């Protein structure tokens, strides 16, 4: 089975919003053995929607559509589909009752425009939406099965799992399995050269690389008639990739660096605290992205102004004046003070120049000092390193936080 994904919305073709649904849907479909041929994005234009749905229904057996089911005048997907199947829109009384209940339960006023969300092209089926007011649609166009979900990711995802996923599981024969292995610290070309023959285009499983915000991921796609075979070949290729890349590999799939660090801290029953200047909370926020972080994350200091470095963290003002706020000495002192005050087993301290202003020939934008403090008998043992990170302000801050996490990860690996 092959799928085409259609995203609908002026905000998409005008570039005012980024389409994240197509990526999520493709990933889930691939896991279920359905290959996505293409993503297609069209504006809130009835003729364009009709044309896209007709074309997609000719090219693929499964068409997944997101967007255009909202309560406002620019939501035209329902009307377009009615035209595609040449059927009138009829009111679904039970869907209307559900929408009314949704509003009642939340003490919100239902507007007249919400009523049109209970309309369905005759012959089609409305799909329950547990998270919002817009029901989805399911209908048949020619030989294709068409599913329509709201564009809001938090509503679309559970609806996919409830309606579409079970249908596919029952129908497909072929097994396409994918796996993503994430590395930190090596460039993409180095990863490519290290993997060498493993990346030949004729291979099955097929191995490729992608980069996102400092993380080079190796993706593997295994395509075989049975899932047992696909799984065995995928495991074998994954093992070969991991052996070649060693400790640069930090996780698989969507497991972030922060999650890996959290798990290691949890296993070793260690705690961590932060002291951030240039990243100003980015690292602490990353460390607490995953639920359960309270088991090992204590807290931290955001010392953006130099005065706060001194007054709240105890970094001597004369040290800052003498060495500069972005210096090894200040990074080390931040780590020591934060370690003493928080009594955490580990401390990560960062001070740098995120840009675009503030750089100098000796300390260009992207210069970041990172200190890793480790509680030891008689105080905090600190290792500090200087990095020159590339990218804009946001990227420098994100990379700095990830580089700090990676320093901690590598130290935790020694201990485990």
Instruction: Tell which positions 167-206 bind a copy of itself, by CB under 8 A.
Output: 178, 180, 187-190, 192-193, 199-201, 206
Distances (CA, A) of 1 to 10, 24, 164: 29, 18, 13
Q: Which stretch binds a copy of itself (CB under 8 A): 84-92, 224-232, 238-246, 286-294?
A: 286-294
Q: Which residues, 6 or more positions from 65, have their beta carbon under 8 angstroms from its beta carbon?
A: 5, 6, 7, 8, 53, 77, 146, 147, 148, 149
Q: Which of residues 43-102 bind a copy of itself (CB under 8 A)?
A: 44, 48, 52, 70-74, 76
Looking at the Cβ atoms of 294 and 416, the one nearer to a copy of itself is 294
Looking at the Cβ atoms of 239 and 295, the one nearer to a copy of itself is 295
Element spanning 8, H or E: strand 2-8
Task: Report, in angstroms and rounded to the nearest whole number, the Rg of the chain calculated over CA atoms.
Answer: 26
Contact letters for a copy of itself, residues 246-285 (x by CB under 8 A): ---------------------------xx-x--xxxxxxx
Out of 124, 262, 300, 373, the only residue in the binding site for a copy of itself (CB under 8 A) is 300
Residue 119, number of CB atoms within 10 A of its CB:
20
152 binds a copy of itself (CB under 8 A): yes
Q: Which of residues 18-47 bind a copy of itself (CB under 8 A)?
A: 18-20, 22-30, 35-42, 44
413 binds a copy of itself (CB under 8 A): no
Residue 318, number of CB atoms within 10 A of its CB:
9
301 binds a copy of itself (CB under 8 A): yes
114 binds a copy of itself (CB under 8 A): yes
293 binds a copy of itself (CB under 8 A): yes
Q: Which residues, 6 or more positions from 35, have their beta carbon under 8 angstroms from its beta carbon?
A: 1, 2, 3, 29, 176
392 binds a copy of itself (CB under 8 A): yes
Find the shortest distance in angstroms from Cβ 262 to a copy of itself. 13
With CB under 8 A as the rule, give the number of residues binding a copy of itself: 106
Query: What is the rounded distance in angstroms from the CA atom of residue 131 to the CA atom of residue 274?
Result: 36
Q: Which of residues 310-339 bind a copy of itself (CB under 8 A)?
A: 311-312
Which DSSP string corresponds to 159-184?
Answer: HIIIIIHHHHHHH---EEEEEEEEEE
- Residue 213 contacts residue 188 (beta carbons within 8 Å): no
208 binds a copy of itself (CB under 8 A): yes
Distances (CA, A) of 54 to 6, 57, 80, 119, 249: 11, 5, 11, 21, 44
Contact letters for a copy of itself, residues 344-383 (x by CB under 8 A): -----------xxx--------------------------
Cis peptide before 182 (omega within 30 of 0): no
Give backbone dihedrals phi and psi of 377, rounded to 5 degrees, phi first: -55, 125
Looking at the Cβ atoms of 104 and 108, the one nearer to a copy of itself is 108
> Among residues 267, 406, 274, which one has the least CA distance to residue 344?
274
Q: Which stretch binds a copy of itself (CB under 8 A): 139-147, 228-236, 292-300, 378-386?
A: 292-300
Find the shortest distance in angstroms from Cβ 280 to a copy of itself. 4
Query: What is the rounded distance in angstroms from the CA atom of residue 345 to the CA atom of residue 217?
Result: 30
Looking at the Cβ atoms of 291 and 414, the one nearer to a copy of itself is 291
């Amino acid at each position: 089975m092959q799928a085409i994904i259609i995203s609908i919305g002026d905000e998409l073709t005008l570039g005012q919003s980024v389409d994240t649904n197509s990526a999520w849907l493709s990933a889930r479909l691939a896991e279920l053995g359905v290959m996505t041929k293409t993503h297609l994005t069209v504006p809130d234009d009835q003729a364009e929607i009709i044309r896209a749905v007709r074309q997609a229904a000719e090219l693929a057996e499964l068409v997944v559509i997101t967007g255009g089911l909202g309560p406002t005048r620019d939501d035209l997907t329902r009307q377009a589909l009615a035209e595609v199947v040449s059927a009138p829109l009829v009111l679904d009384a039970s869907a209307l009752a559900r929408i009314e209940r949704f509003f009642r339960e939340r003490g919100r006023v239902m507007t007249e425009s919400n009523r049109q969300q209970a309309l369905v092209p005759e012959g089609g089926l409305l799909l329950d939406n547990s998270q919002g007011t817009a029901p989805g649609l399911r209908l048949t166009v020619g030989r294709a099965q068409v599913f329509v979900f709201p564009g809001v990711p938090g509503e679309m995802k559970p609806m996919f799992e409830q309606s579409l996923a079970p249908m596919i599981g029952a129908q497909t024969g072929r097994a396409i399995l994918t796996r993503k292995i994430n590395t930190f610290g090596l460039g993409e070309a180095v990863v490519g050269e290290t993997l060498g023959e493993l990346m030949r285009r004729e291979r099955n499983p097929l191995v490729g690389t992608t980069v996102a915000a400092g993380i080079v991921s190796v993706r593997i796609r295994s395509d075989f008639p049975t899932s047992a075979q696909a799984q065995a070949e995928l495991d074998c290729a994954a093992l070969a990739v991991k052996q070649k890349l060693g400790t640069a590999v930090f996780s698989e799939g969507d497991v972030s660096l922060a999650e890996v660090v959290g798990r290691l801290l949890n296993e070793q029953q260690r705690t961590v605290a932060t002291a951030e200047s240039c990243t100003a909370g980015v690292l602490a926020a990353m460390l607490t992205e995953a639920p359960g972080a309270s088991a090992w994350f204590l807290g931290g200091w955001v010392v953006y102004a130099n005065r706060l470095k001194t007054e709240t963290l105890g970094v001597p003002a004369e040290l800052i004046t003498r060495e500069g706020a972005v210096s090894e000495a200040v990074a080390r002192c931040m780590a020591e003070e934060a370690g003493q005050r928080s009594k955490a087993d580990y401390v990560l301290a960062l001070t740098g120049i995120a840009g675009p202003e503030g750089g100098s020939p000796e300390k260009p934008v992207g210069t970041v000092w990172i200190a890793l403090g480790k509680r030891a008998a008689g105080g905090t043992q600190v290792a500090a390193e200087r990095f020159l990170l590339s990218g804009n302000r946001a990227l420098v801050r994100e990379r700095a936080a990830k580089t700090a996490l990676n320093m901690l990860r590598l130290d935790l690996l020694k201990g485990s």
